[in-house]
Chain A
Amino acid sequence: MTAALALDVRDLSIVFDTRRGSMTAVQEVSFTLARGEVLGLVGESGAGKSLTGNALIGLLQAPGRIAGGEVHLDGQRIDALPPEAQRRLRGKRIGAIFQDPLTSLDPLMTVGAQLVETIRTHLPLSAPAARARAMDLLAEVGIADPAGRYGQYPHQFSGGMRQRIVIALAIAAEPDVIVADEPTTALDVSVQAQILSLLRRLARDHGTAIVLVTHDMGVIAEIADRVAVMYAGRIVEIGPVTEVLHAARHPYTAGLMGLIPSLSRRADRLPQIAGSMPRPGQWPVGCSFHPRCPSAGPRCAADVPRPLSADDGMVACHLFSGGTLSPPAP
């Protein structure tokens, strides 16, 4: 089973060490990714999606740290490796794309030089070979006239073009996994679809597994194979995209789906479900969602629901593990 998995995250927890003790921001997050699969990681702003993504690529910034769990890349545990070994994996076997293409590139360096620098960090290529590969990459991500564009600076490209170059940089050494954190949020709607289909094509043609972090269900519907729904630092439901979109089980997911913006009227952020998501350190006892949940019962305020795996999905809700009414027998 593990052989086919590109990424296997087990019980990942992230805490912040503050002066008033440590505060948990992500708790016991588990999911897997097969080669060539696109997993959408969705949830309201502040759910812990970016923290999870940063932890995967080993770029969690202090005072945040991984407090528990394991991350396996192609069957090899990577979260406990020394920093230098993690650095060597980054860009080579696990890549990243961030939200804002306007600020992701070094403004003082030509895009060609940035590509060559990345390529030669990871691959034993001569300068001319790296240059040729850089041109190929530019062509691959849909930049017209790669030879002419090679020597240009980031400011000479539009936002969508820059995100294509960011993607070219992320795939420069053919990583097995790419963590894309809101890769289309900063772009025009018309450009969003192009970037998403480019990512889709990379997953299909190169077998690259993609974790696509977003708060936009429309993006999920367009690109994901499976969806993981995150709420207050935990994953509450995982399932194939069609099932999650059309037959959500967790009440929070169902609430989100009720809010999918139609294609004609796409909103930038999710409209709110009544109430708001608690911040780390203020999570209620029991199920974090119960204060906002239409189906909550007494048990929900007492017990954290255990994740319940079924087929290729998972749901963490008392509705599916014995009902919400009775607190558990002592």
Chain B
Amino acid sequence: MITLVLRRLGSVLLVMLVVSGMSFLIFNYLGDPVNNILGVNASLNEREELRRTLGLDQPSYVQFWHFLQRAVVGDFGISYRNRLPVLELILSRLPATVELVMCATVLALGVGIPMGVYCALRPKGAFSRLLQMISLVGISIPQFLIGMLLILIFSVELRWLSAFGRGEVVQIGWWSTGLLTDSGRKALIMPVITLAVFQISMIMRLVQGEMQEVMRADFIKFARARGLTDRSVHLRHALRNSLLPVVTVVGMQIGSLIAFAIVCEAVFQWPGVGLLILQAIEYADFPVMAAYLAMVGFGFAMINLTVDMIYLFIDPRMRRG
């Protein structure tokens, strides 16, 4: 078990190295940092001077090593656009995105799993068919369309919810949360739903499929032969055994939620990392892009690690070796 954890950590390190390599390439070779900083009119001497102070005159591997050293302590340089440290910029935007993604995940699990269980137990019922139809729509409809429909109904027509921003936020240390104020919570509703619709549908269909499969297993028949209640057979035995693949997919989905969040943040003008990176791309703000890439890579690796740990927790068969 320890070796398994160590192996996983090793692969996380490897992934991080590759990702930082890519982000280093973006940082150093896309655009000319010297031009970006000094402008095109600077003299040759000034340029050479800056090159030396930035270390750009050294071989690439030395530069990469320095880049890594700085990245490890969170130093990704200064944003070209607003002259602020990149780390500070990203950290100020991170809470908005994390809250959005976390709320969407909780909603997707909280709604998707019960719906999947229901459909697995009554696959031929009228309500199950309705849910299956809705989930098919939920999977096929593009996200920005959901967002715009929500805005049209709840902001434009009904005027219940504001269509942009986070509402009031409360500062807790460096973290800013919208969960503690009414307007903050209301502002979360539409973006979270927009982001979660696809996940709900996915998780529901996944749970239903897995659980129907597991319900045919011998140990379910034997659980019934032991006289266990339906509740116990369905939830303690069938559902638990259906959740392993769900854990994997949900892990990957949280990763892709971070990516999907870009669209969602654009639609709702949500001041998160997604919006930041859109602006960074527009302004060719390479340090921000490099840092974002490293951060997303790190996020993915951490999620994968967590998924593996959950696997170990749920499935005793994995604990060998």
* Residues of chain A at the chain B interface (Cβ within 8 Å): 57, 59, 87-92, 95-96, 98, 100, 103-110, 117-118, 121-122, 153, 155, 166, 169-170, 172-173
Contacts and interface: CB of A to CB of B under 8 A. Distances in A.
Nearest to B219: A106
A91 B228 contact: yes
Contacts of A108: 240-241, 314-316
A121 B226 contact: yes
Contact of B226 (A107, A153, A169): A169
A106 B241 contact: yes
Interface in B62-114: none
Nearest to A90: B227
A98 B228 contact: no
B229 interface: yes
24 contacts: A57-B225, A59-B225, A87-B224, A87-B230, A90-B226, A95-B225, A98-B218, A98-B225, A103-B217, A103-B218, A105-B219, A107-B316, A107-B317, A108-B315, A108-B316, A117-B232, A117-B236, A122-B227, A153-B316, A155-B316, A169-B226, A170-B226, A172-B226, A173-B227
A278 to B, nearest CB: 27
Contacts of B219: 103-107
A297 B240 CA distance: 59
A90 B230 CA distance: 13
> What is the predominant secondary structure among interface residues of chain B facing chain A?
helix
Contacts of A103: 217-219
Nearest to A118: B226
Nearest to A178: B225
B34 interface: no
B160 interface: no
B192 to A, nearest CB: 32
A59 B224 contact: yes
B222 A96 contact: yes
B218 A153 contact: no
B218 A121 contact: no
Contacts of B229: 87, 121
Contacts of A88: 227
Given A107-B219, A155-B316, 14 more contacts: A87-B227, A90-B225, A91-B227, A103-B218, A108-B240, A108-B315, A117-B228, A117-B232, A118-B227, A121-B229, A121-B232, A155-B317, A166-B222, A172-B226
Interface residues of B, number: 22
A90 B225 CA distance: 6
Contacts of A96: 222, 225
Contacts of A110: 316
Among A87, A95, A104, A105, find the residue whose CB has the most chain B CB atoms closer than 10 A.
A104
B226 A105 contact: no
Among B221, B222, B223, B316, find the residue whose CB has the most chain A CB atoms closer than 10 A.
B222
Contacts of B230: 87
Interface of B: 217-219, 221-230, 232, 236-237, 240-241, 314-317
Contacts of A122: 227
Contacts of A121: 226-229, 232
B237 A106 contact: yes
Among B223, B241, B317, find the residue whose CB has the most chain A CB atoms closer than 10 A.
B223
A121 B219 CA distance: 17
A238 B241 CA distance: 43
Given A117-B232, A118-B228, A106 B223 contact: yes
A307 B222 CA distance: 34
Given A121-B228, A153-B316, A98 B221 contact: yes
Contacts of A100: 218
Nearest to A172: B226
A318 B60 CA distance: 97
Contacts of A169: 222, 226
A153 B227 CA distance: 21
Contacts of A104: 218-219, 222
Contacts of B317: 107, 153, 155
Nearest to B243: A108
Contacts of B226: 90-91, 95, 118, 121, 169-170, 172
Contacts of B227: 87-92, 118, 121-122, 173
A153 to B, nearest CB: 4
4 closest Cβ contacts across the A-B interface? A91-B227, A96-B225, A90-B227, A103-B218
B123 to A, nearest CB: 12
Nearest to B217: A103
Nearest to A173: B227
Contacts of A91: 225-228
Among B224, B226, B237, B315, find the residue whose CB has the most chain A CB atoms closer than 10 A.
B226
A199 to B, nearest CB: 16
Nearest to B316: A153
A173 B217 CA distance: 24
